[in-house]
Amino acid sequence: MAARDARGQYRWPPPHKWDTHSNAFFDAREQTYIVTTRSVPIETDGLERETSLARSAGAHFSFDTSRAPPVILRGDVDHQPYAQITFPWLNVYLGLNMLYDQGDPSGKVYCRLTLASSPGGPWRVIEGDNIINATDFVPLGPAGAFDSHIIFAAARPFRRGAGAGAREWIYYMGGNGPHSGERNSSLGLAMLRPDGFASVRGHGTFTTPTLTVTAASLTVTADFAAGGAASSSLLRIGVIPDGAQEPPPALSLQNSVPLSH
């Protein structure tokens, strides 16, 4: 069931609310349109904003409006997921989620990174136990900076340049005052290395999901902690062929050339 109002706009029932920017894109992988928006339910201790996501039934921009979009990220009354920019990245989905800290008198809005293997979730944060205590992806600027209080990411990141000079560009709106107070808004740009959104860190052995390598070589980017012990500052890579339980001797960890800092 898809319903639009007299102006041709989609309207989901409460607690969905169109009072922040929403994000829509066509997902070629799933052949559906995906809209990330939000809901504002009334909880016992006040209003709470939640991140919601809707998918079209097929390759047409048509949505079921008989019920509110499902919630994919939930905070609490004082820490409210305000809006999310959702986009496909490699074989997963990433989101730049803006968290409004209503409990802080300075009224700050943080930009945090979320991840899911499919649009419907489950969604989880990168670096943190939940959206409330996650590490900022695009950090707020220092006191007095144009983005000292608020960051709202733009439509989606994109890659600019090629080779060693390539970068991921992320445009965002920065605010130098509280969410519900006087402030100036300015356009900002954050940059990072290609595909540098998320990584794995720590010690021990890590097995990736199945990867299809189509190039002549497999490239790994690694950062080593300064001053680490020699044994903890090495990286070895082994390859387990599809269907096998262990790597063959020629592709084993023991026979790989270690990378070091």
| Assigned token pair, 181 | 């107070």
Place of tokens 């959104």: 197
DSSP3 helix / strand / coil % (the chain, rounded to 5)? 5, 35, 60
Closest CA to 85 of 97, 76, 75, 72: 97
In this prediction, residue 183 has a pLDDT band, given cuts at 50, 70 and 90, of very high
pLDDT higher than threshold 90 for residue 186: yes
Q: What pLDDT shows up at residue 18? A: 83
Q: What pLDDT shows up at residue 44? A: 74
Domains of the chain by residue range: 23-192, 200-261
Q: What pLDDT shows up at residue 42? A: 81
161 conformational bin, left if phi > 0, alpha if psi -120 to 50, beta if neither: left
Report the chain's mean pLDDT, rounded to a whole number.
87
236-240, long-range: CB < 8 A, 24+ apart? 240/207
In this prediction, residue 229 has a pLDDT band, given cuts at 50, 70 and 90, of low
pLDDT tens-digit map of 130-160: 999 999 999 999 999 999 999 999 988 999 9
Q: What pLDDT shows up at residue 163? A: 83
Higher local confidence (pLDDT), 40 or 203: 40
Q: ω before 15 within 30° of 0 (cis)?
A: yes
Higher local confidence (pLDDT), 260 or 147: 147
pLDDT higher than threshold 80 for residue 169: yes
Closest CA to 21 of 34, 36, 8: 36
HEC letters along 135-181: CEEECCCCCCCCCCCEEEECCCCEEECCHHHCEEEEEEEEECCCCCC
pLDDT higher than threshold 80 for residue 10: no
Higher local confidence (pLDDT), 116 or 199: 116
pLDDT tens-digit map of 40-78: 888 777 777 888 988 988 888 888 888 889 999 998 889
- CATH architecture of the domain covering 23-192: 5 Propeller (2.115)
pLDDT higher than threshold 90 for residue 247: no
Higher local confidence (pLDDT), 12 or 170: 170
pLDDT higher than threshold 80 for residue 170: yes
In this prediction, residue 4 has a pLDDT band, given cuts at 50, 70 and 90, of low
In this prediction, residue 1 has a pLDDT band, given cuts at 50, 70 and 90, of very low
- 146-158 burial, b if ≥16 CB within 10 A, otherwise e? bbbbbbbbbebbe
Average pLDDT over residues 202-212: 80
